[in-house]
Amino acid sequence: MAWRGWAQRGWGCGQAWTPPAGGRSYEELTAALAPSRLLRRRFNFFIQQKCGFRKAPRKVEPRRSDTSSEAYKRSALIPPVEETAFYPSPYPIRTLVKPLFFTVGFTGCAFGSAAIWQYESLKSRVQSYFDGIKADWLDSIRPQKEGDFRKEINKWWNNLSDGQRTVTGIIAANVFVFCLWRVPSLQRTMIRYFTSNPASKVLCSPMLLSTFSHFSLFHMAANMYVLWSFSSSIVNILGQEQFMAVYLSAGVISNFVSYVCKVATGRYGPSLGASGAIMTVLAAVCTKIPEGRLAIIFLPMFTFTAGNALKAIIAMDTAGMILGWKFFDHAAHLGGALFGIWYITYGHELIWKNREPLVKIWHEMRTNSPKKGGGPK
């Protein structure tokens, strides 16, 4: 009875306890039954929890997978993907089958289309030449409009080199996609189709579309500046049609190399940007003209040869891929550079110079096709 009363007082749950008549006093009972001060504190803490002072439940943080946005936020060049779900395949090697077939098929179609494009361009130059003579004659007898805005645009366009005119469309496409990133309602669509990630449900089309996609203004400006700087050299080396085939194929091939690296290392994450394709252009020019002099835009007083610049870039991207640096997609950079070196060294002879059978087939289709209004069967 005395123990129950002492416990109730310690709990604070019942009424105050009073010693029974003829019994021992409260002070005597406390001195006899109370243990050491440390034990008493533990006991009181224990029974206070039982009397309604429950311990607050521990907040459990949601477990993030390896594809969480924590890794993506390390680079300001990548869009926020907190609400985007990625689905890594339980069989990673199978993930690369569709991208492999897409890479081979798209590359073949790109070079085939470029060969046909070149055929049509050569065929139309004679007609364009006579049309140009006629237009010049009409302009000479037609009164000229001073200050015409369209005339100024045409003058600016005609003063550009062939390479600069070629990459103007590429730059315009990149600017357009960059503006789409600023639309909040399109964020999920942009992340799904304009960022390449082997853990995404959409694997093939982002390999091409991400080549025209930039989330950061600085990223886009730097890439487009490099592309504009090397445009005249690469188009003089390859020609307009062959350059477009190499550029588009390089974007897909560099993304496939990035897929392989991510699957092999397990470091999944979205990638975007034209850096892989531009690395192909840079590597092709540096391989063809290794003695050319280059300089950094912010440090024009320091110059170096193109060959040394290419070696330094390959060494840096190789180290970044092995060490897992997150700021750039070093695997895509390395894949683009190696493709550019290979194409200038061997690919031009193996692919472009063997386009004649396809051009003959296209020529026969064009000449044998019936003209409008009917023709001989």
Q: Point out the residues that are catalytic.
A: 275, 333
CB 293 within 8 A of CB 305: yes
User: Which residues contact residue 341 at a Cβ distance below 8 angstroms, ignoring those fewer than 6 apart?
Assistant: 283, 284, 287, 310
Cβ neighbours, 10 Å, residue 336: 30
Residue 273's H or E segment, with its range, is none
Beta bridge partners of 288: none
| Count of positions (residues) in the chain | 377
Cα–Cα–Cα angle for 342, 271, 181, nearest 5°?
125
Q: Can you tell me which residue has the tokens 């990638």?
A: 271
How many Cα neighbours within 13 Å face the side chain of 89?
17
Residue 23's H or E segment, with its range, is none
Q: For the stretch 6-17, what's the b/e string if a residue is b when 16 or more beta carbons lie within 10 angstroms of its beta carbon? A: beeeeeeeeeeb
Nearest to 94 by CA among 206, 250, 207, 203: 203
| Token output for 254 | 């560099």
Q: Can you tell me which residue has the tokens 């440390």?
A: 38
CB 274 within 8 A of CB 177: no
What span, in angstroms and rounded, lies between the C-alpha atoms of 304 and 274? 24
**Radius of gyration for the chain, computed over Cα atoms and rounded to the nearest angstrom:** 36
